[in-house]
Structure 1
Amino acid sequence: MDTLTRMKTMPVTLLLIAVNVIVYLLTVLTGMDIWQGNGEKLLHWGANYWPMTMQGQYWRLLTSMFLHAGLWHLFTNMLGLLIAGMFLEPVIRSFRFAAAYILTGIIADFISIWYHRTTVGVGASGAVFGIYGVFLALLTTPLFRPSARYGFLIYVSMFVILNFIVALFAEGIDNAAHLAGFCSGFITGYLYFFTLSKQDGDRLPQ
């Protein structure tokens, strides 16, 4: 499959990446440091913060998913989204992919501020982990051919495990959001299985 054809099968993935990048550039153009976020400025843009979100500004659960505290934060999240979306979106189709991203991201953001009540939260990582949760759940089902399933099962499992290990030793990583996103995605993946067919599984790019 050539690059252009593959891109046509992942419109939501590309749209989400584009929105995240555009929002990041706008924050930088309005004074945000390119390498690290500023809590006050991020709050102005819609960051997640328990005292504000739970006082009726529930939209922050959504807007915070499209904000990032620095270029490296943005790059790592978008790379993870691109890789997962490249393989998963063609299988579950764009509507399911978008629904899983938003749903798991909101759940992750809520758990994040519930656990970190004095911290300003931003980033797409909860939703990205949600997408990997969906992918891993589907890889444990008969949806895919065994020849295609095992390689991806190893890759996705290693991605998740390594990220959780790194999170144990690194500062500033929101483990609560990652775990909540992944677990909600894993459940969503099993629910999706009952709406998918073998023909859907055969669309897993090789």
Structure 2
Amino acid sequence: MQIQKHLLQMPVTLALIAINCIVFFVMVFSGLNIWSGNPDTLLHAGGNYWPYTIDLHQYWRLLTSMFLHGGLWHLFTNMLGLFMAGLFLEPVIRGPRMCLVYFCTGIMSDFASIWFHKDTLSVGASGGIFGIYGAFLALLTTTVYRPTIRKPLLAFIALFVGLNIILAFFSGGIDNIAHLTGFCIGILLGYILYFTLSNTAGNQLPDETK
């Protein structure tokens, strides 16, 4: 029952995960390499690439690229990160605000990505996911969340950010610009959203987190 309560309080998170997974497996059945992706296939499907997105005015790629992933591991890590953040953030800020953070930070981080890497194809939901973590961090420094759960949740965010910093040093193909942009804009949005929330909004979390 408690698991069901969690899931019922995060419909937007689950919908985003479902859409990302459906798009990925449709792409795989259409010829995408399940492990490493195919740049040409991803570009044709709506990948974010400066000569197309900006020079050819195909701005919709800033949105569509958020639902494309360059392999199963890329999809899995992004969706796991989204699920974990949505578990504790969406019940508090609710679905419409969750959408606002995800899409605003995702689109803006996608633009930053191709601005700094004009010759690189960009895909993935990580900009929006880092935006969600930024908003989550901002709200954890306010009175929205109960003091008893702030420290473990802050530790969770620190672990998430720390692991991504380590991966950035030892792995190639990680879009640090998109991550940083999404995270910083997410923090800003989190503080703005704070003024739209009641001080008891954190009480919407399931009982076992109290």
Give the structure-1-normalised TM-score: 0.97
Q: Which runs of no fewer than 5 residues in structure 2 stay unpaired?
A: none
d(CA) in 2 for partners of 1:90, 1:143: 12
CA–CA distance in structure 2, aligned partners of residues 148 and 204 of structure 1 = 11
Please name the residue that 1:41 is paired with.
Answer: 41
Distance 2:67 2:12 in 1: 14
Q: Does 1:188 align with 2:189?
A: yes
RMSD: 1.0
Give the AA of the match of 1:4.
Answer: Q
Q: Which runs of 4+ in 1 moved over 6 A?
A: none
Change (3 A) 1:36 1:22: same
Instruction: Measure how far apart 1:108 and its partner are.
Output: 0.7
Aligned mates of 1:6, 1:133 — CA distance in 2: 21
Counterpart of 2:19 in structure 1 is 19
TM-score (norm 2): 0.95
Matches of 2:111 and 2:190, distance apart in 1? 20
* Alpha-carbon distance in 2 for matches of 1:43, 1:70: 14
1:28 equivalent in structure 2: 28
- Cα distance in 1 for partners of 2:74, 2:153 equals 25
Q: Within the alignment, does 1:120 sit opposite 2:116 as a pair? A: no
Deviations 1:141-190 (A, max 9, x none): 12112111111111112211221232122111000000001001010100
Q: Is the 8 A contact 1:136 1:157 kept in 2?
A: no
Output one character per residue of 1:69-122: Cα deviation in whole Å (capped at 9) or x when no partner. 000000000000001001100000000001100000001100000011000100
In structure 2, how many angstroms separate the alpha carbons of the residues matched to 1:195 and 1:165? 35
Aligned equivalent of 1:135: 136
Deviates more, 1:152-161 or 1:16-25: 152-161
2:53 counterpart letter in structure 1: T
Distance 2:138 2:149 in 1: 15
Correspondence for 1:148: 149
The within-5 A match list for 1:153-168 is 153-168=154-169
1:3 corresponds in structure 2 to: 3
Does structure 2 conserve the Cα–Cα contact (< 8 Å) formed by 1:50 and 1:114? yes
- SS of residue matched to 1:69: coil
Stretch deviating more after TM superposition (84-93 or 147-156) = 147-156
Q: Distance in 1 between the 2:34 and 2:163 partners?
A: 27
Q: Residue in 2 aligned with 1:58?
A: 59
Whole-angstrom distance in 2 between the partners of 1:203 and 1:163: 29
Letter of the 1:185 partner, please give it: G
5+ residue gaps, structure 1, are none
Identity percentage of aligned residues: 58
